[in-house]
Structure 1
Amino acid sequence: MELLLLLLTAHFISDFYLQPAHWLTYRNSHHIKSLGFWQHVAVHTLLNIVVFLISDIALLPAIIAIVLISLAHVLTNHWLSYRSNKLSFLLTTQSFHLLLICIIWAYLANFTIEQVTSFISSFLSAKNLIIAISYLLVCKPASVIISLALKKHTDSLTQHSNGSTENTTIEENENIGLVSAGAWIGYIERCLAISFIFMGQFAGIGFLVATKTIFRFGDLTKNKDMKLTEYMMLGTLLSYAIALFIGWNVLQIYKVL
């Protein structure tokens, strides 16, 4: 386990702390010919050499592991240099690196197929699956339920907004929120809410409600629209009600399993 933690530490330090922004800029513009490209690979290689020097691993397996990790960074950095700066690309490459590190560690630690299978089976236990399902439920399914429950009020607000379009100024148009931000806020707040329930920290839910109220208060006061205020309150209360219902019931099921 110490080797795995050391490899992960070396990876995160190399990828996020010892990679200056100008290396990334040069890599994206000059690709594999960039000096920053190879400097980044060299940093990874050096840190992994240090890891294996302080670990009790035979020389040949250590060399093979270092070469594989370095080669993986050459390939992923070359691939990333032709891609735009998107979260999906970052998560893809990071998942690949973490998977490779885990495979190398499992091989060097002499894990058998039976041990790996047993670990996966224990990881996919009923208790873990019910927790995972609860997070899935409070995201998209909960958003669909809230959307359908408030559809009548949403349509009413839309008609009200269309009726007052002629009085809308340019500044008001520029004050429109981010696309899909409301949905993501809902996902995060409900995930945090059930997390607090699982940890037994119900005061954290009150903190979330208070925080959202503070940030929303200024916008609602500025608009002076009673319908919009009630609509936002309904959405917020329904969101937390769903999170509390799912979280509490999943917690009871978890205790029984």
Structure 2
Amino acid sequence: MELLLLLLAAHFVADFYLQAGKWIHCRNENHFKSPGLWKHGLVHLVLYLAVLLLWFLPGQQPAPWLQVAGAVAILAISHVLTDGWKSYRPATLLYFLIDQIIHITIIFALWLWITDTAFDDIKRVAAWLMSSQNLAIALAYLLVGKPASVLISMALKRHTDAMSQTAEQGEAGALTGVGLASAGAWIGYIERFLTLSFVLMGQFTGIGFLVATKTIFRFGDLTTNKDMKLTEYMMLGTLLSFAFALAVGWLTIRSMKA
């Protein structure tokens, strides 16, 4: 496991700390003909080689040098090919995540090959990941995401319609600003994820800090608008969001103790 962590650390250092911005721009412009792409691949090769050489020091571990050399070559070449493929795609979060998943999957597979990790070890890790406690936690995070948003949206529909009519009529209670598209939904996801995390860790003071932080950022909007309906609407949505996350967190803890 230590070797896997070292290889992952080498990947993230090379990908995010030792990659110059001009290399990325050059790669996106010239693709596989980009010198920056190949320099980036060379940095990965050097770091992976350094990690494996240090790991298999003479007298420390039996060194499968042929596997080490093959793994370094595969890691560096696969990284160049993946980044080159990504350079033809839009610079979006989806392709960024796909790119990282490919890199990490290859690192994991080669770690298994180099260390001759037994299938029984993989089964033990898989069994731990699929334990009832971990599944309960995963289900909790799924529930406080989109399902919670849909539930809160339905609960506030009558109030949302009233606020929309007020805004259309240009009354004093009309909203004075337009937010980023989908930003409100993402704010809700993050606040519920954080609330659930604090509940599961038993750090209830963190929830108070989260509520206080949101109140501070919202205070300017509410005082500027000077509309009681908007204030009540936003407080209701916030309280429903926190209440849902707290309830799911409490039920998750109870199920884990059962």
TM-score range, shorter chain: over 0.9
Amino acid at match of 2:51: V
- 1:166 CA displacement: 11
Paired position in structure 2 for 1:254? 256
Matched-pair identity in %: 52
Counterpart Cα distance in 2 of 1:151 and 1:35: 55
Paired position in structure 1 for 2:148? 142
Paired position in structure 2 for 1:126? 132
Paired position in structure 2 for 1:111? 117
- Are positions 1:215 and 2:217 aligned together? yes
Counterpart Cα distance in 2 of 1:52 and 1:238: 51
TM-score by length of 1: 0.94
Which residues in structure 2 correspond to 1:39-118 (within 5 Å)? Answer: 39-56=39-56, 57-118=63-124
After superposition, the C-alpha distances for 1:40-65 in whole angstroms (9 at most, x for unaligned) are 00000111111111122321000110
Which ranges in structure 1 are unaligned for 5 or more consecutive residues? Answer: none
- 1:118 CA displacement: 2.7
Counterpart Cα distance in 2 of 1:232 and 1:219: 10
Greater shift in the superposed pair: 52-61 or 11-20:
52-61
Contact preservation (8 Å) 2:173, 2:229: no
Paired position in structure 2 for 1:15? 15
Counterpart Cα distance in 1 of 2:172 and 2:54: 72
- Structure 1 residues 163 and 91: alpha-carbon distance in aligned structure 2, compared to 1, 3 A threshold: same
Structure 1 runs of 4+ aligned residues shifted over 6 Å read: 165-169
Counterpart Cα distance in 2 of 1:111 and 1:141: 39
Amino acid at match of 1:208: L
* Equivalent position to 1:239, from 238, 241, 244: 241
- 1:72 CA displacement: 1.0
Counterpart Cα distance in 1 of 2:52 and 2:173: 69
After superposition, the C-alpha distances for 1:186-234 in whole angstroms (9 at most, x for unaligned) are 0000010010011111111111111101100100110111111100000
Q: How many residue pairs are counted as aligned between the two chains?
A: 252
SS at match of 1:6: helix
Counterpart Cα distance in 2 of 1:6 and 1:244: 37
- Structure 1 residues 142 and 226: alpha-carbon distance in aligned structure 2, compared to 1, 3 A threshold: same
SS at match of 1:85: coil
- 1:165 CA displacement: 7.6
After superposition, the C-alpha distances for 1:23-78 in whole angstroms (9 at most, x for unaligned) are 00011101111110110000001111111111223210001101110121121111
TM-score by length of 2: 0.94
